[in-house]
Amino acid sequence: MRTGAMAKKNLDQKHKRLLARLAMGMCGLCGLQMWDMSMTREAHEFQRLPQPAFIGNVMADTPDLSGDRRQKAAKRLAEAKELLDEALELKAAGVSGKGLWYRVITEGEDGIGIRKAPRMDGPRVEDLVRGSVFEVDKLIQKEGQPIWLHLDDGRGWVFDLTPVDSDTPTVERIQGAYEYGRTIEELEADVEAARLELDRIRGAKRGAS
């Protein structure tokens, strides 16, 4: 009987030690999970913070090991060259521009409003901020009134105050503009910028290899 009791006691002690180890393991696992969740939350919080400019520069200068950035940069350069070549061909043929392009130059914080109809009390559906460039396919001009410009993309009408208030113009005509309202000089600058970007990415890749 005493032998049986001793064996039962030893078995109970083994069970207790096993349960203790399991409990410790579960606590460790819970702690690991809690640490992982905490780190995940911190990562999300970091992503929401405004990143200093140098972080973007570091990311941009990192080696393009996959080649994805190089391919995108090469595509941008090809597209910029195509637009420039088209503009140069038109200019050589005596065409001083393509389309009727305007730029918003108003000093107002809200820019100018796009309206559904060519009248001042027309519903305002959208705003064009200062610097916005847009193409026009129709004009309405009446003496003593603003010039109404219809956006080529169909969004609506904007007005040019120049005829009634030349001291506070809202828009200006872009002379010699081609695709996307870009002049030859701007298209050339686009090509150069795209070429420099591609060279920079290629250089970073060569430095990493």
Please, which residues bridge with residue 160 across strands? 147
pLDDT in tens, 32-66: 444 444 444 444 443 434 444 433 444 455 655 56
- Lookup: tokens for 87: 């503009």
Element of type H or E holding 27: helix 2-48
For 23, 53, 89, 146, the CA distances from 152, given in Å and listed in that order, are: 71, 37, 23, 19
Closest CA to 124 of 139, 108, 135, 112: 112
Q: Which residue has the tokens 């795209």?
A: 194
Predicted confidence at residue 48, as pLDDT, reads 39
Predicted confidence at residue 20, as pLDDT, reads 52
Q: How does DSSP classify residue 179? A: G
Q: How does DSSP classify residue 93? A: T
- Lookup: tokens for 15: 């069970």
**Four-CA torsion 186, 70, 58, 45, nearest 10 degrees:** 100
Q: Which residue has the tokens 């009390």?
A: 121
Predicted confidence at residue 36, as pLDDT, reads 45
Predicted confidence at residue 168, as pLDDT, reads 83
- Lookup: tokens for 145: 């009134």
Instruction: Give the pTM.
Output: 0.58
> How many CA atoms lie less than 13 Å away from 179 in the CB half-sphere?
15
Q: Which amino acid is at 98?
A: K
For 44, 68, 80, 118, 134, the CA distances from 121, given in Å and listed in that order, are: 46, 50, 41, 9, 22
- Lookup: tokens for 129: 């901020």
Mean pLDDT by 10 residues, the chain (209 residues): 50 52 46 43 41 41 69 93 92 88 88 92 92 94 91 94 84 91 93 94 65
Q: Which residue has the tokens 């007005």?
A: 159
Residue 152: count of CB within 10 angstroms of its CB: 14
